[in-house]
């Protein structure tokens, strides 16, 4: 029936052409609704019908939609009809109508394409504008804001493809911008391998590409390339894609270990040699030479990727990075249009210690240094060549919102000077200055603080000084006076600190809730300070002691505390979440008085705690996730204090693990005495959450338990076994079942294992220790290992008697990215020297002992030059080709090497005159703390 010109309404009959019958809807069912009541529509109800009749205002349709304008107001025959049939996605079309009537539209990453498509087809500019605004806001939204829209990667790919075909450059450009800005978020998505090459290359070239480090970019590209090969083969175009993608990487910003470790990766291998050559060249090149060697224009390849969205900057391990690299990264492109820019920068960077006041005037008043407000965390660990005074001043202007600074393993950093420089960071809360813990107390220590000046770092809440052997009492006291807000303090291994000093710091820092004092003189005075409600510096504290606020206390090897004091301390730690009493004299009577119920981590390794005391604590703390109790012989006994009962069934060893299984799920377990198959069976309900397990002396797992371990703990990432019987079948099951395994250690285990157990692909394995378990290993077996475990970064082999010097090139070629290598009593590996090991250029920790007397006398100096990242070196005089090593009188070269241990053995003969195995006599320990080189001769074998 035809309509007159006065008719106001038209009936839209909407049917979904793709609708299939199911239990919730039927094409034969029809519902009639009116646009006049659109605000009260129940979409979930309407969408259950097969088709919908909508009574809509003709004028509204004509005004808001170009499609209906042409259809209803033109010369088409449909313009006179009162019913118009529409075949479209029902939900999308109803949302279109709601938009026409001014209702709010809920857009998600999955609904964007249907809504954008319906808006394009029906020519609804209002909905098109809403879609464009939503997508633009999604790109601009903060990644930290939980309320900001997150685009699903599969939906993003669909948007990009649709936009490329229908919407010109607008949608594809925004999709590439979102991918670039959120690269760290999407690179681990399961759909990342499906990203079209054209979209990926646009993302990589986008000025907003945001990654924490260049390593993350490379790894993401390798994942994509691997997926691309699986889907598309090895065509010539794919090889071109590989080259184009990899050429976007800034190879000068990759750590040595990373480059070497990816040498066998398809897609990266062809770039390894030039990358290695470039990094080595930069390591030897001063900052001024770097600037002088540059061509005109912005030096993109040397500049760290920084965008307005960068939140974390990770340069750890990049020894080649210097102040020139950082300064070039924080200057705008426009700066490099000035023909005199190189001369200006060279002047600023030249001899930064000279004319410092003038240099500061030059660099911070004349240079247009950019500010990156989003950067919250920076890691410059192992960046040994940085002039940190210059760098920190540069950071203070470029990263005003910095909250976390990690500068670990930098011996050239003076802690006091560093903390004074950090006063300029108003929001800085977390500082980590960790170095390797010295194996002995140094004989000398340099003066830390000589003046009366005072710095203030009132915002610092977390401070890590682990291993700092240059910190004495005066130094830490000065720090505590400047850091009033400390909540977390790690002074582990700071061996020069006295108990009185630690007590003073505890009294000063009244907000402390986390304290790590392992391997220090933490003792009676410190405990008194924790337990006191009135401080010893005559300042009134809270009515409750500091101990009552503690949530973390780690005090490994702190043995000088009386039982009375320890009991007083433990009784007050009601809020404790992480407690470490390893290698202390804690007793059952003390541990049983622990009042807390929030404990998440407990370490009682190498103590006399019995199973009764342990079960008591576990039963009161259902959230316990980490338990370390290796070396606790008394776990075989019911109770130590006040008598021993071996027969009571109430507190059997299995009862302890039944208590654990009632908790929320154990994630890490270190155990020994009393642990058996039955213990693991009791633990089974909680074992599915385990990520790390270490089983030591006193445990008796057996083959059945190991097989149960493989089937019950699918999430295991670390498996460490000491003194356990293990077979090929059990080991094979472990290695093939545990897909997430990253660390495997077998020490002094016995049983029938062979190379057959290691002939399986284990690409995720990073750490491998085989100590006294693979006596049979040959060079050929070692080669098999390199093929099965291509990504190892840490390897320890002890007692592999059939290896010889030919295994060195196998190690260098198989694991060029090796970081830690320990070889002890492994045949004749070093009988002809160690030249072939120099291929492991990224080594940081090297131990070579009793492997053949062929190591050159000059090896200490050679190693410092050949291994630029080497920090720890352990040798034995038995292996010296000329009977000794050249020991420097002072620190030589500019390398990393900080701890050197050289052992000496003596030969003994039996009653029959036969020469026995060498017996350890003494160890020379050389320590470099950044200022002084100390040498100590001790009897222990370190």
State the Cα–Cα distance between residues 590 and 569, nearest whole angstrom: 9
Residue 125 has what pLDDT? 94
Which element (helix H / strand E) includes 777?
none
Assess whether pLDDT exceeds 70 at residue 443: no
With beta carbons less than 8 A apart as the criterion, state whether 638 and 664 touch.
no
First to last CA, the chain: 100
Assess whether pLDDT exceeds 50 at residue 373: yes
Tokens of 213: 């480090």
Integer Rg of the chain from CA? 34
Dump pLDDT digits (tens) for 697-724.
Answer: 999 988 899 999 988 999 999 999 999 9
Class of domain 1-145: alpha beta
Residue 151 or residue 719, greater confidence = 719
Dump pLDDT digits (tens) for 109-139.
Answer: 999 999 999 999 999 999 999 999 999 998 8
Residue 2 has what pLDDT? 44
Dump pLDDT digits (tens) for 634-648.
Answer: 988 765 555 544 334
Residue in this structure with the two tokens 């691309």, named with its chain if needed:
228
DSSP label of 837 = G
Tokens of 706: 């190991």
Residue 817 or residue 457, greater confidence = 817
State the Cα–Cα distance between residues 852 and 860, nearest whole angstrom: 17
Residue 240 has what pLDDT? 80
Assess whether pLDDT exceeds 50 at residue 264: yes
Using a pLDDT cut of 70, give the percent of the chain over it: 87
Residue 662 has what pLDDT? 74
Residue 219, by phi and psi: left (phi above 0), alpha (psi -120 to 50) or beta?
alpha
- Kindly provide the residue ranges of all beta strands, DSSP E only, lying in 412-498, ordered along the sequence: 430-432, 462-464, 488-490
Confidence of residue 149 (pLDDT cuts 50, 70, 90): low
- DSSP string spanning 33-68? EEGGGGGG--HHHHTTEEEEEEEEEHHHHHHH-HHH
Assess whether pLDDT exceeds 70 at residue 363: no
Confidence of residue 301 (pLDDT cuts 50, 70, 90): confident
Residue in this structure with the two tokens 């806001």, named with its chain if needed:
137
Residue 49 or residue 313, greater confidence = 313
Mean pLDDT of 594-610: 95
Residue 18 has what pLDDT? 66
Dump pLDDT digits (tens) for 232-253.
Answer: 655 666 778 888 999 999 999 9
Assess whether pLDDT exceeds 60 at residue 80: yes
Domain boundaries, the chain: 1-145, 151-250, 700-791, 793-941
> What does pTM read for this prediction?
0.88
Tell me the average pLDDT of the chain.
86
Residue in this structure with the two tokens 């029938």, named with its chain if needed:
752
CA 886 from centre of chain: 38
With beta carbons less than 8 A apart as the criterion, state whether 655 and 611 touch.
yes
User: Mean pLDDT highest for which of 167-176, 384-393, 554-563?
Assistant: 554-563
Using a pLDDT cut of 90, give the percent of the chain over it: 58
Going by C-beta distance under 8 Å and a sequence separation of 6 or more, which residues neighbour residue 192?
Answer: 153, 186, 220, 223, 224, 227
With beta carbons less than 8 A apart as the criterion, state whether 348 and 412 touch.
no
CB atoms within 10 A of CB 306: 18
Point out the least confidently predicted range of 23-32, 688-697, 929-938. Answer: 23-32
Residue 142 has what pLDDT? 65
- DSSP string spanning 509-545? -TT--EEE-TTS---HHHHHHHH-SB-TTS-B--SS-
State the Cα–Cα distance between residues 859 and 139, nearest whole angstrom: 55
Mean pLDDT of 429-450: 69
User: Mean pLDDT highest for which of 38-52, 155-169, 782-796?
Assistant: 782-796
Question: Residue 566 phi/psi, 5° resolution?
Answer: -65, -40
Of 651, 668, 667, nearest to 617 (Cα)?
651
Residues in the chain: 942
């Amino acid at each position: 029936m035809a309509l007159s010109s006065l008719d106001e309404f038209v009936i839209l009959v909407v049917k979904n052409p793709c609708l299939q019958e199911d239990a919730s809807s039927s094409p034969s069912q029809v519902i009639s609704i009116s646009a006049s009541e659109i605000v009260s529509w129940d979409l979930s109800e309407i969408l259950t019908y097969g088709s919908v009749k909508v009574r809509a205002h003709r004028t509204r349709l004509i005004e808001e939609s170009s499609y209906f304008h042409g259809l209803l107001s033109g010369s088409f025959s449909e313009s006179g009809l009162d019913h118009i049939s529409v075949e479209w996605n029902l939900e999308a079309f109803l949302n279109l109508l709601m938009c026409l009537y001014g209702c709010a539209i809920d857009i998600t990453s999955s609904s964007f394409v249907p809504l954008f498509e319906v808006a394009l087809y029906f020519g609804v500019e209002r909905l098109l504008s809403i879609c464009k605004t939503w997508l633009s806001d999604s790109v601009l939204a903060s990644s930290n804001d939980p309320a900001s829209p997150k685009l699903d990667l599969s939906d993003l790919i669909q948007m990009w493809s649709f936009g490329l075909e229908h919407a010109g450059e607008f949608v594809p450009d925004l999709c590439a911008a979102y991918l670039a800005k959120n690269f760290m978020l999407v690179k681990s998505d399961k759909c990342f391998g499906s990203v079209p090459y054209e979209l990926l290359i646009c993302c990589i070239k986008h000025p907003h590409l945001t990654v924490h480090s260049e390593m993350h970019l490379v790894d993401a590209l390798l994942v994509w390339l691997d997926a691309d090969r699986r889907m598309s083969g090895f065509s010539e175009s794919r090889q071109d894609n590989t080259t184009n993608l990899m050429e976007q990487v800034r190879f000068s910003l990759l750590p040595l270990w990373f480059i070497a470790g990816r040498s066998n990766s398809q897609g990266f291998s062809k770039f390894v040699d030039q990358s290695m050559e470039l990094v080595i060249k930069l390591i030897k090149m001063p900052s001024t030479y770097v600037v002088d060697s540059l061509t005109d224009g912005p030096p993109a390849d040397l500049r760290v990727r920084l965008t307005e969205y960068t939140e974390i900057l990770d340069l750890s391990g990049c020894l080649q990075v210097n102040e020139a690299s950082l300064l070039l990264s924080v200057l705008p492109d426009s700066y490099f249009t000035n023909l005199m820019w190189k001369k200006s920068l060279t002047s600023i960077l030249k001899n930064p210690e000279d004319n410092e006041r003038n240099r500061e005037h030059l660099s911070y008043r004349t240079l247009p240094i950019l500010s990156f407000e989003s950067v919250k965390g920076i890691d410059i660990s192992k960046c040994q060549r940085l002039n940190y005074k210059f760098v920190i001043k540069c950071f203070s202007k470029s990263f005003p919102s910095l909250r976390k600074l990690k500068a670990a393993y930098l011996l050239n950093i003076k802690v006091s000077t560093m903390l004074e420089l950090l006063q300029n960071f108003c929001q800085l809360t977390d500082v980590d200055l960790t170095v390797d813990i010295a194996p002995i107390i140094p004989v000398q220590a340099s003066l830390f603080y000589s003046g009366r000046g005072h710095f203030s770092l009132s915002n610092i809440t977390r401070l890590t000084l682990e291993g700092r052997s240059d910190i004495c009492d005066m130094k830490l006291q000065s720090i505590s006076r400047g850091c009033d807000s400390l909540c977390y303090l790690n002074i582990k291994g700071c061996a020069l600190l006295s108990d009185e000093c630690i007590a003073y710091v505890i009294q000063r820092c009244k907000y402390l809730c986390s304290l790590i004092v392992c391997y220090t003189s933490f003792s009676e005075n410190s405990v008194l300070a924790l337990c006191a409600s009135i401080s010893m510096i005559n300042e009134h504290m809270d009515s409750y002691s500091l101990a009552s606020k503690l949530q973390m206390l780690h005090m490994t090897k702190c043995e000088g505390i009386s039982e009375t004091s320890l009991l007083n301390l433990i009784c007050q730690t009601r809020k404790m979440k992480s407690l470490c009493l390893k290698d202390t004299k804690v007793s059952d009577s003390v541990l049983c008085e622990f009042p807390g119920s929030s404990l998440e981590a407990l370490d009682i390794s190498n103590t006399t705690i019995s199973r009764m005391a342990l079960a008591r604590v576990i039963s009161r703390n259902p959230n316990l996730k980490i338990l370390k109790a290796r070396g606790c012989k008394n776990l075989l006994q019911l109770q130590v204090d006040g008598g021993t009962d071996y027969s009571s069934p109430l507190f059997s060893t299995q009862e302890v693990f039944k208590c654990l299984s009632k908790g929320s799920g154990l994630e890490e377990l270190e155990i020994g005495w009393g642990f058996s198959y039955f213990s693991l069976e009791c633990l089974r309900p909680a074992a599915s959450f385990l990520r790390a397990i270490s089983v030591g002396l006193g445990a008796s797992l057996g083959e059945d338990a190991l097989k149960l371990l493989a089937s019950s703990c699918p999430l295991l990432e670390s498996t460490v076994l000491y003194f356990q019987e293990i077979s090929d079948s059990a080991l094979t099951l472990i290695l093939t079942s545990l897909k997430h395994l990253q660390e495997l250690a077998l020490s002094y285990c016995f049983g029938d294992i062979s190379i057959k157990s290691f002939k399986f692909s284990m690409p995720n394995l990073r750490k491998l220790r085989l100590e006294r378990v693979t006596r049979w290993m040959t060079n050929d077996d070692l080669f098999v290992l390199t093929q099965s475990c291509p990504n190892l970064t840490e390897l320890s082999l002890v007692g592999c008697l059939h290896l010889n010097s030919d295994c060195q090139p196998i190690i260098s070629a198989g694991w060029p990215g090796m970081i830690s290598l320990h070889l002890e009593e492994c045949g004749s590996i070093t009988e002809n020297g160690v030249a072939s090991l120099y291929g492991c250029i990224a080594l940081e920790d090297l131990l070579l002992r009793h492997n053949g007397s062929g190591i050159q006398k000059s090896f200490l100096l050679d190693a410092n030059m050949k291994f630029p990242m080497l920090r720890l070196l352990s040798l034995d005089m038995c292996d010296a080709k000329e009977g000794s090593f050249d020991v420097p009188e002072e620190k030589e070269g500019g390398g990393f090497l900080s701890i050197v241990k050289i052992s000496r053995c003596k030969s003994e003969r039996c009653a029959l005159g036969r020469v026995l195995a060498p017996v350890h006599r003494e160890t020379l320990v050389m320590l470099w703390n950044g200022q002084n080189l100390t040498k100590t001769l001790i009897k222990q074998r370190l």
